Amino acid sequence: MLTNNDIKYIRSLSQKKYRQKYNNFVIEGEKMILETIFFAPDRLVKLYCLPEFKNKYNKDLSLFDEKIEVISLRELKKISNLKTPNQGLALIEIEKENIEDIRKFNFVLYLDDIRDPGNMGTIIRTADWFNVDCIIVSKDSVDIYNPKVLQSSMGSIFRIPVFEYDFNQLDEILGDINIKYYGMLMNGESIYEAEYDFPLVVVIGNESRGISDKIISKLDKKITIPRFNQHTESLNASIATAIVVSEVMRRKKD
């Protein structure tokens, strides 16, 4: 049975400061729980689920017996962030990424203050599809363990490393490597014509103001998605990211 302390603890994790303090985040629903079990079993801290979920996946769940607590729908509603709670909720350990790993990557996305949770989740999902080596998010970006981000990432968060660093920290870590920084801007070379040198970091700017000035001065190249209709103003940030990632991967393959 859920204690009041359990409920209080789980609910506290809807805030970034408590996620960081306790090094845990929350995922919800059948699909996300299965993604955890298959792709990040070691990170499962606790699973609260309905009896029908336990029965349905009894075999897959047998390895995690001591971490599972079967609860009622009434209890699930007390800890869920969803309007319609779905099957269960799990606590997951936040993985401490190894900063040195960044140095061995070939194609990295740097997100400079992406603020919309839907955009962030969609970018993580897209980068996972294209097997981008890792994503680095600036400290002012939306938290990647925000429930709406996790929802739009569709489990991809378990398959692609995501680090949180400001650009100058990144640049310090990578300072002695001959890595290129390309930035997505309105006035650069066409993404279809640019040469891509690896290892490569592609920088995506904030939804309203684009890439910050302090980063622009560090770029090796400015690149642009050609606009075929001069009357349009911009593309959605997750759309622009997907188009450039697709183009880089197409060319990388050659």
Chain residues binding its own copies by CB under 8 A are 39, 118, 122, 125-126, 128-131, 152, 154-156, 159, 192, 225-229, 231-236, 238-239, 242-243, 246-247, 249-250, 253
CB of residue 57 to its own copies, shortest distance in Å:
18
Q: Minimum Å distance from CB 246 to its own copies? A: 5
What is the smallest separation between the CB atom of 35 and its own copies, expressed in angstroms? 9
Closest Cα to residue 171, out of 206, 135, 219, 128? 219
- Of the pair 192, 198, the CB lying nearest its own copies is at 192
d(CA 149, CA 164) in angstroms, rounded, equals 15
Nearer to its own copies, 176 or 193 (CB): 193
39 or 198: CB nearest its own copies: 39
Nearer to its own copies, 113 or 247 (CB): 247
Sheet holding 134-137, edge to edge: 162-164, 134-137, 107-111, 200-204, 180-190, 221-224
List the one residue out of 129, 180, 138, 193 whose CA is nearest residue 156: 129
Task: Count Cα neighbours of 81 within 13 Å in the Cβ-side half-sphere.
Answer: 18
SS3 171: helix
Pick between residue 36 and residue 238 the one whose CB is nearest to its own copies. 238
CA–CA distance, 108 with 156 (Å, rounded to integer): 16
Provide the minimum distance between the beta carbon of 226 and its own copies in the complex, in angstroms, as a whole number. 8
Least CB distance to its own copies at residue 132 (A): 8
Q: Which amino acid belongs to residue 4?
A: N
Residue closer to its own copies, measured from CB, 146 or 238: 238
Strand 162-164 to 134-137 pairing? parallel
CB of 21 to its own copies, least distance (A): 31
Per residue in 122-152, is it b (16+ CB within 10 Å) or e — as a string?
bbbbbbbebebbbbbbbeebbbbbbbebbbb
